[in-house]
Amino acid sequence: MAQYELLTVGNPKTAKGKELGYAVAVLHLAPANLSGHNVCPMATAGCIAGCLNTAGRGGIMRAGETTNAIQKARVRRTQWLYDSRAHFLATLQRDVERFVDWCEDNGFKPVLRLNGTSDLDWDGMAPELMAYFKALGVIRYDYTKVATRMKRQGDHYSLVFSLAENNADNAFRWAMHGGNVAVVFRTANLPKEYCLSVPGLGAVTLPVVDGDKNDLRFLDPRGVIVGLKAKGRAKKDTSGFVRETEDTRLLTHA
């Protein structure tokens, strides 16, 4: 595998995509405002507390420490993005070009997730670079809590709306426009369907697909709930960010 300055390719979940012929590269920044720059404009208390930023090796700390090399690297990347945007984007371009070359040599379709632990509008920040990635044949996907970003979707960019404890109204509207909604469940057994209900807007029951089988969200059928099992700190969530399968009351507030 090629070496990258910004991208990560060894995530166990994204690696599952190789069974279907896709290789996934992810950009991990320091989420919310951990770097001094807020890269998650619609972050909530629940999603910050349960963020996968500390999942896996990112959460392994020595006794008495509150950070590690992975966390420090994510902070450095984020500060780099804001302090030297042109240099950062040039480095990202080189990384993606190396990744595409590796995929071509090894028979995989290249997939890119730039918001591994962030929620930035890359198409607004670097439109020419995103167009270049599309021209290279790169498929992009992300999860977002920014409802207005639905307009960014296209044949090479797929977005899933992330349900939090306070955005059921936007999740409902997203679903009504044919978009998919990611829901984190506490149970290990995902429900077959789930209801999004918002007073004054209506209710819709959608089938649930297992979002933990792989991370290739652009392959999901339209009009579904992407079910994700609570992991790490999210298992102890009490904010309403993590849903109980038998309790739809948590989805009825905006």
Handedness of CA 198, 38, 13, 229 (dihedral sign): negative
Looking at residue 192, its pLDDT comes to 93
Looking at residue 248, its pLDDT comes to 44
At 81, which helix (H) or strand (E)?
Answer: helix 69-83
Strands (DSSP E) found in the chain: 7-8, 22-27, 109-113, 139-144, 157-162, 180-185, 193-198, 202-210, 225-229
Longest dimension (CA), the chain: 53
Looking at residue 249, its pLDDT comes to 42
Q: Per-residue pLDDT tens, the chain, 254 aa: give them.
A: 678 999 999 778 888 899 999 999 999 999 988 899 999 999 988 888 777 655 555 455 455 555 667 889 999 999 999 999 999 999 999 999 999 999 999 999 999 999 999 999 999 999 999 999 999 999 999 999 999 999 999 999 999 999 999 999 999 999 999 999 999 998 878 999 999 989 899 999 999 999 999 999 999 999 999 999 988 777 888 788 899 875 444 444 33
Pairing outcome for strands 22-27 and 7-8: antiparallel
DSSP structure string for 149-181 = GGGG-BTTEEEEEEP-SS-HHHHHHHHHTT-EE
Enumerate the domain spans of the chain: 7-251
| Distance from C-alpha of 149 to C-alpha of 57, rounded to nearest angstrom | 31
pTM of the model: 0.88
Looking at residue 66, its pLDDT comes to 57
